[in-house]
Chains A and B, each alone.
Chain A
Amino acid sequence: MYAKTIWIAAGFFALALLTAAMIIPRGGDAWTDREIEMLRSLSIKSLPPLPPDPSNRYGDDPRAAALGHQLFFDTRLSANGKVSCATCHDPGRDFQDGLPLAVGVGTNTRRTMPIAGTAYSPWMFWDGRKDSQWSQALGPLESPVEHGGSRLQYAHLIAAHYRSAYEELFGPLPDLTGLPEQGGPVADAGQRAAWEALAPEQQEAVNRVFANIGKAIAAYERRLQFGESRFDRYVEQISGRQTSGNADLTKDEVAGLRLFIGKAQCINCHNGPLFTDNHFHNTGVAARPELGEDTGRAAGARQVLADAFNCLGRYSDASPPDCAELTFMVTEGEELVRAYKPPTLRNATLRPPYMHAGQLATLEEVLDHYNRAPAAPAGHSELRPLKLSRKELAQLAAFLNTLETPITAPTGFLEAPAELVTTR
């Protein structure tokens, strides 16, 4: 009799399991149509083809990219001959350095940002003080704590070592004979004086070489893009499409994803296939007063408007209608104070420490920060406490692992060039 009862109970159990399996496909991740639509908006498959950068007519020229690749890794573009772009933007580390503050010829006041996918962003740097990749590349070259050199030094370097590659692309180099070795509107008083002593047309000619260096570097950088992560394959799978490679998410990862697009509100700022809105947000990140005042976007907005190398400037190849982001940007207001750009969350797990000055050492600290939503040291934080449990925070952290994404680039671009060009 007991045996019969057990069989009946076992039947019920099997039926229950079957029902559960039908209702809960793939370990409990039942998504509504609306949610699947939201997840697809985050998939790398939703990223449109990279549009041209109207401000850089050389951006899609492979010769410019090859020259940019050389320049990116060339330590001669520095005051001490030891710092290249790749010093901080290490291709072996997701094009960043893993340090709280970047270290070039000195120590910066900001954390190095990753590069892949930034060709899609209208704003560069944490504060958006540059509006294109080519213009961004020029900033560190003359920063006294990064490359520490000057535009005249770099123009001489191009003339000495990259003349043919440069001239093939950009036309004849100006005659630099007799011009000082160093000079630019930089921090060093002597170099600044040398620059100011040049005639306006000489400055203009050197500026153009300097801008073209940036355009070549940007042509290289815009080819650094993201491949497919486990998350992207998962989205394909739940959309009923074929995928190759691991597309499975664990229960915790799925729970974390659900929190990401729901209760945790991460998607508010980390939206789109690059998991960033490329806008600026005050999230109450602690100040580091020892680094000096940092007003974030408030200063960045002023700087980009005044920048000679912006989209509307004379070194840009764009026509004014192409510069709508700059034309219609918000230039002032409380919302800009200590607002910073959210970096992509792709590979965020590989990039501790976090925030614009490396304030938070681990991803757990970052999640805890968003959960607590502390008041901003200046301006107003957009955050509100999330009241997530420890378990939920761990699930969010688990989900972020699924965003580890390989960087794709033309052959050889993810490493230093085999040999630097050293001849004319």
Chain B
Amino acid sequence: MNTTRFRSRKSKWVLAAILLLSVGAFGACSTVREHVRTYKQLKAYAKEVGDERDLSPQRMSENGLYRATILPQTDPVPLNKLHTWTLHVETPDSTTVDVATIAVDGGMPEHGHGLPTKPRVTQALGGGDFLVEGMKFQMPGWWVVEFAISSPRGTDTVTFNLML
């Protein structure tokens, strides 16, 4: 009798241990599920923020004087490598801007630092295109690049967002 009761008690402990282990194993699974869900949420977040930031390569300048398009000559935009861009500038009525003084600036708003290089417009290529040399991004993340465009039509700034 005593022995049977002992066995029963022992069995209960074994049962409890197995159940506990099972819960643990399922727990491990749910950690992974959690991770996956977090990643999905992150993707959704990135999309939402990306939309807000407008990652479009074509943007209007702040005061609407120019419509500008960037064409990085290396696709995708590389990390840690000097490369060139073409910047196309036209007016809202699609007249190309062939003569302009253009200053380049930018940085990582979330990190509070500027570009690692001092890129410059080195050549007017004609047809509204300008060659931008010395572009470089040394960190993954959100970057902004600004062009301050001055032409007889006036001075205005256009800002592009990039996610590297």
Contacts and interface: CB of A to CB of B under 8 A. Distances in A.
B44 interface: no
B141 A325 contact: no
A-side interface mostly: helix
B151 interface: no
Contacts of B118: 328-331
Interface string B93-132: 0000000000000000001111111111000000000000
Nearest to B16: A9
A277 interface: yes
B80 A20 contact: no
Interface in B10-29: 11-12, 14-15, 18-19, 21-22, 25-26, 28-29
Nearest to B26: A16
Contact of A382 (B35, B113, B117, B119): B113
B45 interface: no
A410 B114 CA distance: 41
Contacts of B56: none
Contact of A330 (B18, B25, B117): B117
Nearest to B12: A2
A269 B115 contact: no
B112 A382 contact: yes
B134 interface: yes
Nearest to A327: B134
Interface string A27-61: 01010101000100100000000000000000000
A423 interface: no
Given A9-B19, A268-B140, A382-B111, A328 B117 contact: yes
Interface residues of A, number: 39
B138 interface: yes
B133 A271 contact: no
Interface in B22-50: 22, 25-26, 28-29, 32-33, 35-36, 39
A328 B119 contact: yes
B82 A271 contact: no
B139 A335 contact: no
A3 B139 CA distance: 60
A198 interface: no
A13 B25 contact: yes
Nearest to A24: B32
A32 B21 CA distance: 27
A41 B140 CA distance: 11
B77 to A, nearest CB: 14
Contact of A277 (B19, B25, B120, B139): B139
A308 B113 CA distance: 30
Nearest to A380: B112
B139 A271 contact: yes
Interface in B54-104: 79-80, 82
Contacts of B11: 2-3, 5-6
B42 to A, nearest CB: 9
B11 to A, nearest CB: 4
A5 B12 CA distance: 10
A377 to B, nearest CB: 18
Nearest to B28: A20
A301 to B, nearest CB: 11
Interface of B: 7-8, 11-12, 14-15, 18-19, 21-22, 25-26, 28-29, 32-33, 35-36, 39, 79-80, 82, 111-120, 133-134, 136, 138-141
Given A2-B11, A13-B22, A328-B82, 13 more contacts: A3-B11, A6-B14, A6-B15, A9-B18, A24-B29, A28-B32, A34-B39, A271-B138, A325-B117, A328-B117, A330-B114, A330-B116, A333-B114
13 contacts: A9-B22, A13-B22, A16-B22, A17-B25, A20-B26, A268-B139, A271-B80, A272-B79, A277-B138, A327-B133, A333-B114, A382-B111, A382-B113
The 6 A-B pairs of least Cβ separation, nearest first, read: A328-B134, A16-B25, A2-B11, A277-B138, A9-B18, A328-B117
